[in-house]
A and B are shown apart, each in its own frame.
Chain A
Amino acid sequence: MGDAMAGNVAKNCIFTMPREILRFYLDGFRNMVLGKTLWKIIAIKLVVMFGILKLFFFPNFLKTTFATDTERANHVLHEITVTHGLHGDSIYQDVRQDHPPLTSR
């Protein structure tokens, strides 16, 4: 009997708690005054950041230029050795001839 009652209480809690939490948030948002303006600013900012800046101006250079991690690693290795590193080195000319810059897809 006691177990059954405890079970009912637990079941009620499981069903009512999410509803209470949802109502808490909904009432909170509904009663905002200044908060509404701030949320609008946040929304506009996120749209500008992700919908415009990220999309059109800030592609991830390596992700959009190369297909696989191996290609990306090879590109960076080429950058830190041949492109920037071996300029003026005695093996520089050989390297340039043997290993032209990696082409991107």
Chain B
Amino acid sequence: MLETVDLTMVNWARAQFALTAMYHWLFVPLTLGLSFLVAFFETWYVKTGNEEWKRLTKFWMTLFGINFAIGVATGIILEFEFGTNWSNYSWMVGDIFGAPLAVEGIFAFFIEASFFAVMFFGWDRVSTKMHLFSTWMVAIGSNLSAVWILVANGWMQHPVGMQFNPDKARFEMQNFADIVFSPVAVSKFTHATSSAFLLASLFVIAISAWFLLKGRHLEMAKKSILAASVFGLLSSGLVAFTGDEAAFTNAHKQPMKLAAFEGLYKGTKNAGLAAVGIINNNKKLGDNSDPFLFEVRVPGMLSLLANRQLGSFVPGIEDLVYGNPTENIVGVAQKMEQGKRAVRQLHLYQLAKKSGDTVAATAALSAFRQDQEFLGYGYLQTPEEAVPPVGLTFYSFHIMVILGTILPVICLLFLVFTYNDTISNKKWLLWTGVFSLFLAHVAHQAGWIVAEVGRQPWAIQGLLPVSVARSNLTTGTVQTTFFLFLALFTTLLIAEIRIMLGQIKKGPEEASR
């Protein structure tokens, strides 16, 4: 049967999932961050009673509504793909993901049906405080509904709180708290939401900067920039803190990902952090060629990032693949042996159970349990398969970090010059502000590439590679839907941009209707 499996289907299914997730992630961070900014604007209006803040709140709320309407339900397509393209995976994780995703669905429905309606329909129909409360509830609810999908993603990167059921072929939840509060899930949620706040701040800055360039709505634009740049700066601090936490978690839970995004082939003590570099595409595992054509490293910083200890050892890709007895690192080959034993014992358990041989079944199950944590390695053909695409992971990580360093500086400059009321004269900064929204989106997408490409070949870390997670479908089927999605999402994106631009052109007077 293996000979007839179309391996390229996996890559099309992965491309389709990446396409859907990346388009979905164009809309989501804006919803998460802009909802809070709108709530801040409205709070200021309620506090001061200044109608200018109300006008401003309504304008940004309209843009929030457009983004929400276009983006809503695009994530459901990911669930379609799970059921069709990734049926083995879907079946195996159904018990873990069922509860969080159901909670998300119910939560989102109630928030949207109640507080959303008050937020948009309730101006002058409910009390000011009730309206403000609803706006805050939309902000908090939208962000909380993101918890569950990120918990699910965190579990895939670091599967905890479960036990494999060999009769049902399912990972079954043993401890809900372990799953929700897993360090990977926590750092995923905090890093994703804080970076969403930064993106939304830059969205407000970009549009306000455009107003200033056009000489329109000057007071509203300056007020918006002040609030957004402060929010952006605070968010940037949180992004840096949670990013550091994510790197530390990677070093201990997914060391291969860390080695890949740093292009570190040979582990070392006092490891340096690659500030910039050009990867040598001809580099092969185990050869002596330099992995970089050019690099600038900051000495000792990677050890500090990975272990919070200068001089500590950070394993490289080759240490993780081939093992390093000095540092007690087990190589992939040994894990593959254990994985193959687990697969074999799982099968023997099935056979024994079928033939009614309970003694043999118990023995096989016991043997399976000893090696089950390496189950996924049993499906690899060579140790080198455990290495993710190094170039893509490295460049994505560094683009994310470089932009993550530039964007707070942009927020700071906007804050300083707006506070001094000289912002209107700084055309170069205003254009930078307009362009910064694009940079923020690039940083966001790069971040997800690091998270998802960096964990290849695993659908579930160490337990299930993507090649086994997929369904038995033909490549053509997946190709067709890939292009259908490309067309659908591009249409939605064009619709979003056109409607938004229309509202921005109209400005706050018209847009709030």
Q: Which residues of A contact B (CB under 8 A)?
A: 24-25, 27-29, 31, 33-35, 37-39, 41-42, 45-46, 48-49, 53-54, 57-63, 69, 72-73, 76-77, 79-87, 89, 91, 95, 98, 101
Of the residues A38, A49, A95, contact of B76 by C-beta under 8 Å = A49
- The list of the 3 closest CB pairs from A to B, nearest first, reads A28-B121, A85-B343, A38-B69
**Residue ID in chain B nearest A79 by CB atoms:** B88
- Report chain B residues within 8 Å CB of A54: 80
**A49 pairs with B88, CB closer than 8 A:** no
- Total residue contacts A-B, CB cutoff 8 A: 139
Interface residues of B (CB under 8 A from A): 1-2, 5, 62, 65-66, 69-70, 72-73, 76-77, 80-81, 83-85, 87-88, 90-92, 117, 120-122, 125, 166-170, 340, 343-344, 346-347, 350-351, 378-379, 464, 467-468, 471-473, 477, 480-481, 484, 488, 492, 495, 499, 503, 511, 513
Is B81 within 8 A of A39, CB to CB? no
The answer to whether residues A57 and B480 also contact, given A76-B91, A79-B468 and a CB cut-off of 8 A, is yes
Asked if B80 and A45 make an inter-chain contact with CB atoms under 8 angstroms apart, the answer reads no
**A-B contacts, 23 listed (Cβ < 8 Å):** A34-B513, A37-B499, A38-B65, A42-B72, A53-B80, A53-B481, A53-B488, A60-B83, A61-B84, A63-B83, A73-B167, A73-B169, A76-B88, A77-B169, A77-B350, A80-B92, A80-B169, A80-B464, A80-B468, A81-B347, A81-B350, A86-B343, A101-B1
Q: Are A76 and B120 in contact (CB under 8 A)?
A: no
Chain A residues closer than 8 Å to B477, beta-carbon distance: 57
Contacts known (A24-B117, A24-B121); A84 close to B2, Cβ less than 8 A: yes
Given A58-B481, A77-B350, is A89 in contact with B344 using a C-beta cutoff of 8 Å? yes
Indicate the member of A33, A80, A85 with the most B CB atoms within 10 Å: A80
Are the CB atoms of A73 and B170 closer together than 8 Å? yes
Chain A's nearest CB lies how many Å from the CB of B391? Answer: 28
Which of A37, A45, A53, A91 lies at the interface centre, i.e. has the most chain B CB atoms within 10 A of its CB? Answer: A45
Q: Which of B92, B125, B350, B473 contacts A24 (CB 8 A)?
A: B125
A72 to B170, CA, bound (A): 11
List chain A residues, Cβ under 8 A from B170.
Answer: 73
- Whether B471 and A53, one on each chain, are in contact in the complex, defined by CB atoms closer than 8 angstroms, is no
Q: Measured between alpha carbons, how far is A103 from B366 in the docked complex, in Å?
A: 30
Instruction: Please determine whether B378 and A58 come into contact, CB atoms closer than 8 angstroms.
Output: no
CB-CB under 8 A from B167, the residues of chain A are: 73
| Cα(A37)–Cα(B500), bound, Å | 12
Question: Bound state CA distance, A76 and B347, in angstroms?
Answer: 12
Across-interface contacts of B83 in A (CB, < 8 A): 58-63
B386 to chain A, nearest CB (A): 16
CB-based contact B65/A35 at 8 Å: yes
In the complex, what distance in Å separates the CA atom of A95 from the CA atom of B343? 13
Contacts of B84 in A (CB 8 A): 57-61
Contact A28 B117 (CB under 8 A): yes
Nearest-neighbour CB distance to chain B for A48, whole angstroms, equals: 7
B contact residues around A79 at 8 Å (CB): 88, 468, 472
* B1 A80 Cβ-Cβ under 8 A: no
Contact assessment for A85 and B347 in the assembled complex, using a CB-CB cutoff below 8 Å: yes
A38 to B499 Cα, complex, angstroms: 9
Q: In the complex, what distance in Å separates the CA atom of A60 from the CA atom of B94?
A: 13
The CA of A41 and the CA of B491, in the complex, are separated in Å by 11
* Contact call B346/A34, Cβ cutoff below 8 A: no
**Is there contact, CB below 8 Å, between B120 and A35?**
yes
Q: Are A61 and B473 in touch, CB under 8 angstroms?
A: yes
Complex: how many Å from CA A80 to CA B498? 47
B379 touches A85 (CB 8 A): yes
